[in-house]
Amino acid sequence: MAALPLATAEVCDANSHLIPCGDLRALHPIFQIYGRRQVFSGPIVTLKVFEDNVLVRAFLEEKGNGRVLVVDGGGSERCAILGGNPVQQAQNNGWAGIVVNGCIRDVDEINGCDIGVRALASHPMKANKKGTGEKHVPITIAGTRICDGEWLYADTDGILAIEMLRTINLSLLETCTKDTEKKESSTT
């Protein structure tokens, strides 16, 4: 499925009825934007690790098929669990994006890659190499629950986790887009 052509703000406005029930959730605005792709979306693959990047690297060596890897690194800011080489590999393997609740390094290299990356910050120290963690499990990042198989949509306004993409009201989105286009054409 192709990326949604609309902004996260428009998705929220057109689907506000999905917010109270939790089918549409906005992650807290704690993430920095990295990589050349500022807008990305795809099915979520979850991973829970702490200051260890062996499983992160292993996932990104697989074919991404437009998926988004969401890594709960426990919010640690003591080392980087993602660096330039795995991000380059993710780009080459067709991952749409990577969201890290933790730190990254090799920022200049990552910013040269055609992939979307979000992380808390950068840190020069490397992670442990023990290979511990949990794959495909529900994770919670800053109070927002994210499950394997849900849909993630990120742009410069924020990051959304969506229970099921088909629950999004596309007709409302189309109306919102037409209204935005009318406003833009009337101001020019």
Task: Please give the annotated binding residues for Mg(2+), written as ranges.
Answer: 106
Whether the CA torsion 76, 91, 61, 95 is positive or negative: it is positive
Rounded CA-CA distance 110/60 in Å is 14
Answer whether 139's CB lies under 8 Å from 70's CB: yes
- Annotated binding-site positions: 83-86, 105-106
Distances (CA, A) of 150 to 4, 17, 41, 164, 177: 15, 18, 11, 6, 24
Which position has the token pair 């290299």? Answer: 109
End-to-end distance of the chain based on CA atoms, in angstroms?
33
Numbered residues of the known binding site for substrate: 83-86, 105
Tell me the β-bridge partners of 28.
none
Q: Do residues 82 and 71 make contact, with C-beta atoms less than 8 angstroms apart? A: yes
**Spatial separation of the C-alpha atoms in residues 103 and 133, rounded to whole Å:** 16
